[in-house]
Amino acid sequence: MRVVLLGPPGAGKGTQAKELVARYEIAQLSTGDMLRAAVAAGTPIGLKAKDIMARGELVPDDVVVAIVGDRIEQPDARRGFILDGFPRTVPQAEALDAMLDEIGKPLDVVLLLQVSDEVSLERLLGRRAAEGRSDDAPEAIENRLRLYHELTEPVVERYRANGTLVGVDGEQPVEDVAREIEDALAQVGAPQA
């Protein structure tokens, strides 16, 4: 099963992705986690991404596309994967299409976690207090929400147009969101692990 999870920052993509990984035995491909690991390890990509991420801006498309391209070819992603945080721009979505075309494995479904800007803001400020993520500072959050509307919503519309998009109310409690996602996946015929 190959799934993309879309939604604004703070929508709960990471939380739901982890549930799906456990339930369906597929790989979680989180560009945010991969980039944070690169920053922590001080790799060339990490050095390039650090300040961009702290400001709440987007890492260049070619950088994230290369990361995902490598990751998607790893053995654990062969059974399927959940992409969380990618694609975030139309060029990223086009690059993903090309990669999946090449291996002859289209996406099964694109899940959109729907959350208002107010709830997103509230959750990210809460997370800042709890985890201290540098991009959860108010100015960075503002950038992330603005870029989501400007650059990622066109990606949502692209998947809506090709019929792969399923919307889920992300403002419900975690278990209810998980249940709705499970139902959506059952509808597209996803086999449970």
Which CB sits closer to ligand ADP, 17 or 26?
A: 17
Task: List the end-to-end C-alpha distance of the chain, in Å, as a whole number.
Answer: 11
Integer Cα distance of 86 and 98 in angstroms: 14
Which CB sits closer to ligand ADP, 98 or 188?
A: 98
The set of residues, in sequence order, having a beta carbon less than 8 Å from that of 94 and lying 6+ positions away, is none
179 is catalytic: no
- Contact residue for ligand ADP among 20, 31, 109, 181 (CB under 6 A): 31
Residue 111 contacts ligand ADP per CB under 6 A: no
The set of residues, in sequence order, having a beta carbon less than 8 Å from that of 80 and lying 6+ positions away, is 1, 2, 3, 24, 26, 27
Query: What residue is closest to ligand ADP based on CB?
Result: 32
- Contact residue for ligand ADP among 77, 107, 110, 135 (CB under 6 A): 135
Binding residues for ligand ADP, rule CB under 6 A, total: 19
- Contact residue for ligand ADP among 3, 5, 9, 166 (CB under 6 A): 9
Residue 72 contacts ligand ADP per CB under 6 A: no
Residue 52 contacts ligand ADP per CB under 6 A: yes
| Residue 87 CB, nearest approach to ligand ADP (Å) | 6
Q: Which residue, 106, 133, 111, is CA-closest to 178? A: 111
| 32 contacts 64 by C-beta, under 8 angstroms | no
| 13 contacts 113 by C-beta, under 8 angstroms | yes
Stretch that binds ligand ADP, among 9-17, 96-104, 105-113, 163-171 (CB under 6 A): 9-17
Among candidate residues 127, 128, 158, 160, the one labeled active-site is 127
| Interacting residues with ligand ADP between 146 and 185 (CB under 6 A) | none
- Contact residue for ligand ADP among 56, 156, 168, 178 (CB under 6 A): 56
Where do contacts with ligand ADP occur on this chain (CB under 6 A)?
Answer: 9-10, 13, 31-32, 35, 52-53, 56-59, 64, 85-86, 88, 92, 135, 144
